[in-house]
Chains A and B, each alone.
Chain A
Amino acid sequence: DVKVTQSSRYLVKRTGEKVFLECVQDMDHENMFWYRQDPGLGLRLIYFSYDVKMKEKGDIPEGYSVSREKKERFSLILESASTNQTSMYLCASSLSGEKLFFGSGTQLSVL
């Protein structure tokens, strides 16, 4: 089975800190995604990547950046964390035209 691993299950950071969320998949998927999930809003796309060093903005990229230096790893960076970035962050990967595989999520709290 495909495994998508997110580095932290829970994270607490202070306002203004730089935050790194790491995601690794083990099935050579070309597509990787970062979503945030908030109550009543569903999953919203922050960024996605369809190849190494390639990235596309999603619906809510403001305040975030990403890095994909290797095919298996897709990192989400909060340059200066703010309280409105408190959320559940979910990483996912897929082959083109195939189903999504999700990590277990990182619940980030920004104080």
Chain B
Amino acid sequence: KNEVEQSPQNLTAQEGEFITINCSYSVGISALHWLQQHPGGGIVSLFMLSSGKKKHGRLIATINIQEKHSSLHITASHPRDSAVYICAVRRGNQFYFGTGTSLTVIP
């Protein structure tokens, strides 16, 4: 069983919709990261969280340490948000990754 589970695996949304991607983990962590990977592109870090909530533009990330759960929300989704979103947890100096959520936003 993977230490980091994401859902859903695939998501298709209409432009403008509110999107939620979920991440659950089973181990103690130092921090949780949300990453974005565009097709053919490298991976960029969106958020690093150890508690509470962070917001950057239309993206919001939350974490509940007690429940070992995090969510990534995208408000007013746009086709350029189409990408794979990856949840990763850090324990010490190592990172453990979910298998990613592939998001497609249709105009």
Question: Does A12 touch B at the CB level, under 8 Å?
Answer: no
Determine the interface band of chain B, counting residues with CB < 8 A from chain A. Answer: 20 to 34
Interchain CB contact under 8 A, B43 and A90:
yes
Interface residue total, chain A, C-beta cutoff 8 A: 22
A102 touches which one: B31, B43, B90 (CB < 8 A)? B43
- Count of chain A to chain B residue pairs whose CB atoms are closer than 8 Å in the complex: 44
Interchain CB contact under 8 A, A43 and B41:
no
Question: Does A62 touch B at the CB level, under 8 Å?
Answer: no
Q: How many Å lie between the Cα of A103 and that of B44 in the bound state? A: 9
Within 8 A of A (CB), among B21-73: 30-31, 33, 35, 41-45, 48
Minimal Cβ-Cβ distance residue in A for B90:
A97
A31, A33, A42 pick with most chain B CB within 10 angstroms = A42
Q: How many Å lie between the Cα of A92 and that of B94 in the bound state? A: 11
Interchain CB contact under 8 A, B42 and A103:
yes
Q: A42-B100, A48-B94, A102-B42 are in contact. List 17 more A-B contacts (CB 8 A).
A: A31-B93, A40-B99, A42-B2, A43-B86, A43-B88, A90-B42, A92-B43, A97-B31, A98-B48, A99-B45, A100-B45, A100-B88, A101-B45, A102-B43, A103-B42, A104-B41, A105-B42
